[in-house]
Protein backbone atom coordinates (compact mmCIF):
# COMPACT_ATOMS: atom_id res chain seq x y z
CA UNK A 1 0.00 0.00 0.00
CA UNK A 2 3.07 2.29 -0.30
CA UNK A 3 1.50 4.55 -2.92
CA UNK A 4 -1.64 5.20 -0.89
CA UNK A 5 -2.09 8.18 1.39
CA UNK A 6 -2.44 7.16 5.02
CA UNK A 7 -5.30 8.94 6.76
CA UNK A 8 -4.65 10.02 10.31
CA UNK A 9 -7.39 11.26 12.62
CA UNK A 10 -6.76 14.09 15.10
CA UNK A 11 -9.41 14.45 17.78
CA UNK A 12 -9.41 17.33 20.26
CA UNK A 13 -11.65 16.55 23.23
CA UNK A 14 -12.53 19.76 25.08
CA UNK A 15 -15.75 21.34 26.28
CA UNK A 16 -14.33 24.83 26.08
CA UNK A 17 -12.57 24.49 22.75
CA UNK A 18 -15.68 22.95 21.21
CA UNK A 19 -17.74 25.95 22.42
CA UNK A 20 -15.14 28.29 20.95
CA UNK A 21 -14.19 29.71 24.38
CA UNK A 22 -10.66 28.49 24.10
CA UNK A 23 -8.25 28.04 21.22
CA UNK A 24 -7.56 24.39 20.37
CA UNK A 25 -3.83 24.04 20.98
CA UNK A 26 -3.68 20.24 21.26
CA UNK A 27 -4.94 19.48 17.75
CA UNK A 28 -2.36 21.71 15.98
CA UNK A 29 0.40 20.37 18.27
CA UNK A 30 -0.39 16.78 17.28
CA UNK A 31 -0.54 17.63 13.55
CA UNK A 32 2.75 19.57 13.76
CA UNK A 33 4.47 16.53 15.27
CA UNK A 34 3.29 14.28 12.40
CA UNK A 35 4.22 16.89 9.78
CA UNK A 36 7.75 16.93 11.17
CA UNK A 37 8.14 13.16 11.57
CA UNK A 38 6.27 11.27 8.82
CA UNK A 39 7.92 10.98 5.41
CA UNK A 40 5.41 8.63 3.71
CA UNK A 41 2.28 10.27 2.21
CA UNK A 42 -0.52 11.06 4.66
CA UNK A 43 -3.43 13.39 5.21
CA UNK A 44 -5.09 14.74 8.34
CA UNK A 45 -8.74 14.32 9.29
CA UNK A 46 -9.43 16.65 12.24
CA UNK A 47 -12.32 16.70 14.69
CA UNK A 48 -13.23 18.77 17.75
CA UNK A 49 -15.70 17.32 20.30
CA UNK A 50 -16.91 18.19 23.80
CA UNK A 51 -16.09 15.97 26.80
CA UNK A 52 -19.12 13.76 26.21
CA UNK A 53 -18.57 10.04 26.08
CA UNK A 54 -21.19 9.44 23.39
CA UNK A 55 -19.82 12.20 21.14
CA UNK A 56 -16.25 10.94 21.52
CA UNK A 57 -17.25 7.35 20.77
CA UNK A 58 -19.16 8.47 17.68
CA UNK A 59 -16.24 10.44 16.25
CA UNK A 60 -13.79 7.58 16.93
CA UNK A 61 -16.08 5.10 15.14
CA UNK A 62 -16.55 7.50 12.22
CA UNK A 63 -12.80 8.06 11.80
CA UNK A 64 -12.00 4.34 12.00
CA UNK A 65 -14.91 2.91 10.02
CA UNK A 66 -15.94 5.61 7.52
CA UNK A 67 -12.96 7.94 7.10
CA UNK A 68 -10.65 4.90 6.92
CA UNK A 69 -8.03 6.24 9.34
CA UNK A 70 -5.25 3.77 10.21
CA UNK A 71 -4.39 5.85 13.25
CA UNK A 72 -6.40 8.22 15.45
CA UNK A 73 -4.76 10.33 18.14
CA UNK A 74 -6.80 12.17 20.74
CA UNK A 75 -5.87 15.07 23.02
CA UNK A 76 -7.65 15.94 26.25
CA UNK A 77 -10.05 14.30 28.68
CA UNK A 78 -7.70 11.75 30.25
CA UNK A 79 -7.50 13.14 33.80
CA UNK A 80 -9.46 12.18 36.94
CA UNK A 81 -12.05 15.00 36.80
CA UNK A 82 -15.74 14.18 36.32
CA UNK A 83 -15.80 15.43 32.70
CA UNK A 84 -12.68 13.44 31.71
CA UNK A 85 -14.04 10.43 29.80
CA UNK A 86 -11.76 9.98 26.78
CA UNK A 87 -10.25 6.67 28.01
CA UNK A 88 -13.70 5.21 28.69
CA UNK A 89 -14.86 6.22 25.19
CA UNK A 90 -11.71 4.72 23.68
CA UNK A 91 -12.12 1.43 25.51
CA UNK A 92 -15.79 1.26 24.50
CA UNK A 93 -15.02 1.39 20.76
CA UNK A 94 -11.89 -0.81 20.73
CA UNK A 95 -11.82 -4.57 20.27
CA UNK A 96 -8.47 -4.92 21.97
CA UNK A 97 -6.57 -2.72 24.38
CA UNK A 98 -2.81 -2.11 24.39
CA UNK A 99 -1.92 -1.31 28.01
CA UNK A 100 1.78 -0.83 27.18
CA UNK A 101 1.06 2.55 25.56
CA UNK A 102 -0.43 4.09 28.70
CA UNK A 103 2.26 2.55 30.89
CA UNK A 104 5.07 4.00 28.78
CA UNK A 105 3.46 7.43 28.37
CA UNK A 106 2.92 7.74 32.13
CA UNK A 107 6.46 6.56 32.80
CA UNK A 108 7.81 9.11 30.34
CA UNK A 109 5.70 11.94 31.79
CA UNK A 110 6.82 10.97 35.31
CA UNK A 111 10.28 12.22 34.35
CA UNK A 112 8.75 15.71 34.23
CA UNK A 113 5.85 15.82 36.72
CA UNK A 114 4.75 13.54 39.60
CA UNK A 115 1.13 14.15 38.57
CA UNK A 116 1.75 11.94 35.50
CA UNK A 117 0.11 9.10 37.44
CA UNK A 118 -3.21 10.98 37.23
CA UNK A 119 -3.29 10.43 33.48
CA UNK A 120 -5.53 7.60 32.38
CA UNK A 121 -4.25 7.57 28.77
CA UNK A 122 -4.67 4.29 26.94
CA UNK A 123 -4.57 2.86 23.41
CA UNK A 124 -6.46 0.20 21.55
CA UNK A 125 -7.35 -1.27 18.18
CA UNK A 126 -10.64 -0.96 16.35
CA UNK A 127 -10.57 -2.98 13.12
CA UNK A 128 -7.62 -1.65 11.10
CA UNK A 129 -7.29 1.50 13.21
CA UNK A 130 -5.01 2.16 16.17
CA UNK A 131 -6.38 4.75 18.63
CA UNK A 132 -4.00 6.48 21.07
CA UNK A 133 -4.92 8.95 23.81
CA UNK A 134 -2.44 11.79 24.24
CA UNK A 135 -2.34 14.44 26.98
CA UNK A 136 -3.90 17.87 26.67
CA UNK A 137 -0.76 19.94 27.05
CA UNK A 138 1.19 20.54 23.78
CA UNK A 139 4.66 19.91 25.25
CA UNK A 140 3.43 16.68 26.87
CA UNK A 141 1.94 15.60 23.52
CA UNK A 142 5.41 15.72 21.98
CA UNK A 143 6.99 13.82 24.88
CA UNK A 144 4.38 11.06 24.63
CA UNK A 145 4.57 10.75 20.83
CA UNK A 146 8.36 10.61 20.96
CA UNK A 147 8.08 7.77 23.49
CA UNK A 148 5.49 5.54 21.82
CA UNK A 149 5.68 6.31 18.10
CA UNK A 150 8.69 4.06 17.35
CA UNK A 151 6.26 1.12 17.82
CA UNK A 152 3.35 2.60 15.85
CA UNK A 153 4.29 1.87 12.20
CA UNK A 154 4.81 -1.83 12.96
CA UNK A 155 1.56 -1.96 14.91
CA UNK A 156 -0.25 -0.51 11.89
CA UNK A 157 1.45 -3.13 9.67
CA UNK A 158 0.10 -5.86 11.97
CA UNK A 159 -3.50 -4.62 11.85
CA UNK A 160 -3.40 -4.38 8.04
CA UNK A 161 -2.82 -0.66 7.52
CA UNK A 162 -0.52 1.33 5.22
CA UNK A 163 3.27 1.26 5.52
CA UNK A 164 4.24 4.40 7.46
CA UNK A 165 7.77 5.78 7.22
CA UNK A 166 9.48 8.31 9.46
CA UNK A 167 12.45 10.65 9.29
CA UNK A 168 14.94 8.73 11.44
CA UNK A 169 16.47 11.99 12.66
CA UNK A 170 13.10 12.86 14.19
CA UNK A 171 11.80 9.47 15.32
CA UNK A 172 13.20 6.04 14.57
CA UNK A 173 10.39 3.62 13.69
CA UNK A 174 11.27 0.05 14.60
CA UNK A 175 10.29 -3.07 12.70
CA UNK A 176 11.63 -6.56 13.48
CA UNK A 177 14.13 -7.79 10.86
CA UNK A 178 11.59 -10.13 9.28
CA UNK A 179 9.27 -7.19 8.59
CA UNK A 180 11.27 -4.67 6.59
CA UNK A 181 8.51 -4.08 4.09
CA UNK A 182 4.77 -4.54 3.99
CA UNK A 183 4.65 -7.63 1.76
CA UNK A 184 7.41 -9.44 3.55
CA UNK A 185 5.72 -8.60 6.87
CA UNK A 186 2.42 -10.09 5.74
CA UNK A 187 4.16 -13.25 4.52
CA UNK A 188 5.76 -13.72 7.94
CA UNK A 189 2.61 -12.99 9.92
CA UNK A 190 2.17 -11.44 13.31
CA UNK A 191 5.09 -11.37 15.68
CA UNK A 192 5.52 -9.05 18.59
Give the binding site for its own copies (CB under 8 A): 16, 78-85, 87-88, 96-104, 106-107, 110, 113-120, 125, 130, 135-137, 148, 150-151, 154-155, 158-160, 174-176, 189-192
* Least distance CB 124 / its own copies (angstroms): 9
Spatial neighbors of 147 by CB under 8 A, at least 6 apart, are: 104, 105, 107, 108
Q: Are 101 and 132 in contact (CB under 8 A)?
A: yes
Question: Of 41 and 80, which CB lies nearer to its own copies in the complex structure?
Answer: 80
CB of 93 or CB of 130, closer to its own copies? 130
- The answer to whether 48 touches 17, Cβ cutoff 8 Å, is yes
Number of CB atoms found within 10 A of residue 5's CB: 11
Sign of the dihedral defined by the CA atoms of residues 61, 63, 64, 67, in that order: positive
Could you tell me if 13 and 74 are in contact, meaning their C-beta atoms sit under 8 angstroms apart?
yes
CB of residue 115 to its own copies, shortest distance in Å: 5
In the complex, minimum distance from the CB of residue 18 to its own copies, in angstroms, rounded to a whole number: 13
CA distances from 3 to 41, 115, 163, 165, 182 (A): 8, 43, 9, 12, 12
Of 41 and 100, which has the nearer Cβ to its own copies? 100
CB of 52 to its own copies, least distance (A): 14
Please state, as a whole number, how many other Cβ atoms lie within 10 Å of the Cβ of residue 60: 27
Beta carbon of residue 101, minimum distance to its own copies (angstroms, whole number): 6
Consecutive H or E run containing 46: strand 42-49
Amino acid sequence: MSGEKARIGFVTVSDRASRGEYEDLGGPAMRAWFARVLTSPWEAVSRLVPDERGAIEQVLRELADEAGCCLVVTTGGTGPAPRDVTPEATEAVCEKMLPGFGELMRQESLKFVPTAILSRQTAGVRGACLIINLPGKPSAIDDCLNAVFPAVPYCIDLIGGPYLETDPDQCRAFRPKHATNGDEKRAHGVMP
